[in-house]
A and B are shown apart, each in its own frame.
Chain A
Amino acid sequence: MKCSQSLKYTDAQQSQQAAVSIMDIKASERKEPLIRIVKRNELSRTQVLALRLSSAVMAVAAGGLFILMLGFNPFMIYASIVSGAFRSSVALQATIKIMIPLLISSLGVSLAFKMKFWNIGAEGQIIAGAIFASYFALYHGLWPRQALIPAMLAAGIVGGGIWGLIPAIFKNKFNTNETLFTLMLNYIALNLIVFLRDGPWADPESGGFPKIARFVPNVQLPKLFGVQIGWIFALALAVFLHVYMKRSKHGYEISVVGESASTAEYAGMNVRWIVLRTMFLSGGICGAAGMIQAAGSDYTLAQSVAGGVGFTAIIVAWLADLSPLGIFIVSFLFSVLSKGCSVMQSTYGISTYSSNVLQGVILFFVLGCEFFIRHRFALRAPEGEAH
């Protein structure tokens, strides 16, 4: 080899290296890996849809495997989950009751995500909205309903909005990491409820049990078709956001800022203002979910008013690709699963926590399958063919 010859006149370190690399050549005389990841051409919309559907089927099958391991027949269990969610109008109403806050807060989160503002503070925004709304419920509960309920909704939106604005302000001003900051705000909000429950808003008639008083009937949201009217708000919101994102100037601005803040500035957009506005809206919508949960379902301000919905909403929004229609479908499926699982305790003696486990297994599968939209695995070409 020419090189090793010519190396002789360089220093010792280099000739030592010549030996090393010859050894390495031997070491790397291996074959190409059996499986490689390669990028695939962009799939068409129908192909993506087909892929997502098949991933959902596989996910459900994986969940079935879990059920099988518990010693139950998966078909039976799945059937009872579905029937548990739909078997009667009462069951269906309960399913929708679960769905309302999830749908609303997923929609709220999706706005921030579209802007690539990683708001994982929905939990805190829901709570903040519920706290603000509860002020009116507790102290002005006897106002005429036509004034009281809009006031509570507005308070909920403002409360959640403020909780969304705080990280946006710091992001604008100092570029503070919003993922971690919103996460902190969740627990600050949660402890605010505890503070109110133990102190200023403690129910004097609870006999020492820490809780906030039940809202008077005048405060409680009315029902339509047996479900609190929150569902109308949720549906209207989904339609509104669809139009807002697709057709309005605001929606266009959010998309551009999400893609690249520099492009937005280049186009003369006021990026800081857009971030503030959108985070107020995103948080505000989650706040509305909090108000609706407190006044329409819990009839009090409970520590569990968000109860993890804010986190689930992030998963829902992500799985739905941030589309309002997709969010509607995914949040419905989530609600069916959690309502359906709640009946398994009584029917089969399986703990309600099984719904979380099943949810987890199914989600792991769906998330894994997303991979195949952009990538595929390539097997090693048979020996002697390609090389």
Chain B
Amino acid sequence: MDAEYAIECRGITKTFGTVKANDGIDLNARFGEILALLGENGSGKTTLMNILSGIYHPDSGSVHVSGKALHINSPSDAIGLGIGMIHQHFKLVEIMSAMDNIILGAKDKLQKPSSLKRKILDLCDLYGLKIDPEKKIYQMSVSERQTVEILKVLYRNARILILDEPTAVLTPQETTGLFLILRKMKEKGCCVIIITHKLNEVLEISDRVTILRKGKSVATVLTAETNEARLAESMVGRAVNLSIKRPLVERGKPALEVKNLTSLEPDGRKSLSNLNFTLYSGEMLGVAGIAGSGQKALCETLTGLSKAHAGEIAYEGVNCMGKSAAEISKLGVRLAFVPEDRLGMGLVGSMGIADNMLLKTYKSGKGAFINRKPAIRQAERIIESLDIQTPGVDAPIRMLSGGNIQKVLLGREIESRPKVLIVAYPVRGLDINTSYAIYDLLNEQKRNKTAIIFCGEDIDVLLEISDRIMVLSDGRITGIESAASLTKEDVGLMMAGMDFRDKVQA
């Protein structure tokens, strides 16, 4: 009776501690179909898919594959059932070649490298993929790594493919390429489940959509019968206005001037090459680029966390070239930075909010000992003003939700009343409500004449919120343009290292 479903979940429930990540989820997908699993960050998409691929074990509920109720106890069970998962954070062995990664764990006998290579290249031809099978993973770009992950799944003849946020790291053009491959798989009779929170992608690629909200499956609809607004509404639970405000603030004096900035990786490659730009107070400058195009290096050299090789960095005329973070702050430059890796760089997970406030101020007191009182007061202030949910100022912040953690970080940085605020991927992993709260906070800073650099991955968001967009490709600036004058495709071309104006001539 259910045989028409490739895979079906009934009443899947999974709790982590006190958090119900999945709460009685129902979901089904057919062969020859692309199902989109849509939901905000934290709605339980990844948990559900991890259950299907045998990584997590559900507390209750059942999984049916080709109509049979089964227990998927491990990833190897899932693979045996023809389920292939492409994780958001790639699961590849860095020091091995693409070839070794592809055959890793596969059931067949070890074969001659030459015949294996042939086999992989044949597979590539079949689906229109490109890869050098002997290249080591650590030498690969993000999209090459994704190709290896896809090949891994194809090599095992998976017929049910699950892709977790596969487009997050790709340029619009690469995304188009990926979608082509997915359609090809669908044609060949596979069942494809794509996890995403991007509405336009859902509409572009899927046949049906299942929407998750707060761990529950709230609706399943045919893609042809829905639109962005309705999807957004069922995803968030109320009608939402998805447009982001771009307050008009009169451009002030130059807050940051960068000239001929070049920085090097430890291995001598250029991570930034000859950057020139000026940031004005009251301006939001969006920075776009493929992951690893120099955004991290840009943030870290500007904030003095890593040394620039050559060039000039000046904050309101104060030369900060070659200065460390501590030295920059001693020069009186009011610079704040919200790094991408919140718990790995901006905060200390095992400490409470109060001790995290101390990170920026602990040195200020006299003597060898720390005065915690001002930090506690500051923590209480931020909890109050940003509505942070926490058991107390001393509860370890790693136990807080992602949104609350980001509020602690942003709250602390804003408290220092910065003249220049650099934020890297400030809404990554946050739900829509919190994301918009963060956008509002940033816009409020802009109104206060703060100059903001916003590194983001969602080009739509960048185009809406920024005044100007700066695109990085391979450590170079491929364009700085007014956001209003650009389209998504223009940005995509620049991300790939091309001049978007070429498009017209081509």
Q: Could you tell me which A residues sit within 8 Å of B by CB distance?
A: 1-7, 10-11, 13-14, 17-18, 20-21, 24-25, 27-33, 36, 38-39, 41-42, 247-250, 252, 255-256, 259-260, 262-263, 265-270, 381, 386-387
Are the C-beta atoms of A21 and B157 separated by less than 8 Å? yes
Chain B residue contacts of A14, Cβ below 8 A: 157, 188
Closest residue of chain A to B76 (Cβ to Cβ) is A28
Is B173 in contact with chain A by the CB < 8 A criterion? no
Contact-residue size bin, chain B (C-beta under 8 Å from the other chain): 35 or more
Whether B369 pairs with A25 at a CB distance below 8 angstroms is no
Which residues of chain B from 27 to 76 have a CB within 8 Å of any chain A CB? Answer: 30-32, 57, 59-62, 65-66, 68-73
Chain B contacts with A in 64-102, Cβ cutoff 8 A: 65-66, 68-73, 77, 80-82
* Complex partner residue of B71 from A7, A11, A32, CB under 8 angstroms: A32
In the complex, B339 has a CB within 8 A of chain A:
yes
CA distance A256 to B305 in the complex (A): 16
* Inter-chain contact A28/B77, CB cutoff 8 Å: yes
Q: In the assembled complex, how far is the CB of residue A383 from the closest CB belonging to chain B, in whole angstroms?
A: 12
A26 to chain B minimum Cβ distance, whole angstroms, is 9
Which of A33, A41, A386 has the most CB atoms of chain B within a 10 A radius of its CB? A386
Query: Is the beta-carbon distance between A268 and B326 smaller than 8 angstroms?
Result: yes
How far, in whole Å, are A11 and B191 apart by their CA atoms in the complex? Answer: 18
Contact of A255 with B351 at beta-carbon distance under 8 Å, contacts A248-B370, A386-B59, A387-B62 already known: yes
CB distance from A150 to the nearest CB of B (A): 22
Give CA–CA (A274, B8) in the complex, Å: 55
Known: A3-B32, A5-B189, A387-B62. A33 touches B341 (CB 8 A): no
Give 8 nearest A-B pairs by CB, closest first. Answer: A6-B189, A17-B157, A268-B326, A24-B80, A3-B31, A267-B359, A21-B82, A262-B345
Residues of B within 8 A of A252 (CB): 355, 358, 362, 370
Q: Does B249 contact A (CB under 8 A)?
A: no
Q: Is the CB of B348 within 8 A of A256?
A: yes
Inside 8 A of B68's CB, which chain A residues have their CB?
A: 25, 29
CB pair B71–A31 under 8 Å, yes or no, is yes
Q: List 29 A-B contacts (CB under 8 A).
A: A1-B66, A2-B32, A3-B191, A7-B188, A13-B157, A14-B157, A21-B80, A24-B80, A24-B81, A25-B65, A28-B77, A28-B80, A36-B57, A39-B16, A39-B17, A247-B370, A249-B369, A250-B368, A252-B355, A256-B348, A259-B349, A262-B339, A263-B344, A263-B347, A266-B305, A266-B345, A266-B359, A267-B359, A268-B329
Q: Name which of A2, A17, A268, A386 has the most chain B CB atoms within 10 A of its CB.
A: A268
Q: What B residues does A4 contact at CB under 8 A?
A: 189
**Given contacts A260-B344, A270-B326, could you give 13 more A-B pairs where the C-beta distance is less than 8 Å?**
A5-B189, A7-B189, A10-B188, A20-B157, A25-B81, A36-B57, A42-B17, A255-B348, A256-B359, A262-B339, A266-B303, A266-B359, A268-B324
What is the bound-complex CA distance between A6 and B305, given in angstroms?
56
Chain A residues with CB under 8 A of B358 = 252
| Known A6-B32, A32-B71, A252-B358: A263·B345 in contact at CB below 8 Å | yes
B4 on the A face (CB < 8 A): yes
Q: Is the CB of B363 within 8 A of A249?
A: yes
Contact present for A387 and B80 (CB under 8 Å): no
Q: Does B190 belong to the interface (CB within 8 Å)?
A: yes
B399: interface (CB < 8 Å):
yes
Any chain A CB within 8 A of the CB of B419?
no
Q: Nearest chain A CB to B440's CB is how many angstroms away?
A: 25
Q: Which residues of B contact A30 (CB under 8 A)?
A: 71, 73
When the two chains form their complex, are residues A32 and B62 in contact, meaning their CB atoms are under 8 A apart? no
Q: Known: A2-B30, A21-B81. Contact between A41 and B348, CB under 8 A?
A: no
Q: Nearest chain-A residue to B266 (Cβ)? A: A175
Report A255 CB to chain B, min CB distance, Å.
7
CB <8 Å contact, A41 and B3 = no
What residues on B are CB-neighbors of A6 within 8 Å?
31-32, 188-189
Q: Which of B361-400 contact A (CB under 8 A)?
A: 362-363, 368-370, 399
Q: Which residues of A contact B405 (CB under 8 A)?
A: none
Q: Are B345 and A42 in contact (CB under 8 A)?
A: no
B345 x A386 contact (CB < 8 A): no
Closest Cβ neighbor of A250 among chain B residues = B368
Q: Is the CB of B57 within 8 A of A247?
A: no
Nearest-neighbour CB distance to chain B for A379, whole angstroms, equals: 12
Determine if B337 is an interface residue (Cβ-Cβ < 8 Å).
yes
Q: How far, in angstroms, from A2 to B191 measured CA to CA in the complex?
A: 10
Contact B188 A263 (CB under 8 A): no
- Whether, in the assembled complex, B360 has its beta carbon less than 8 Å from a beta carbon of chain A, the answer is yes
Quick check: B191 and A267 within 8 Å, CB to CB? no
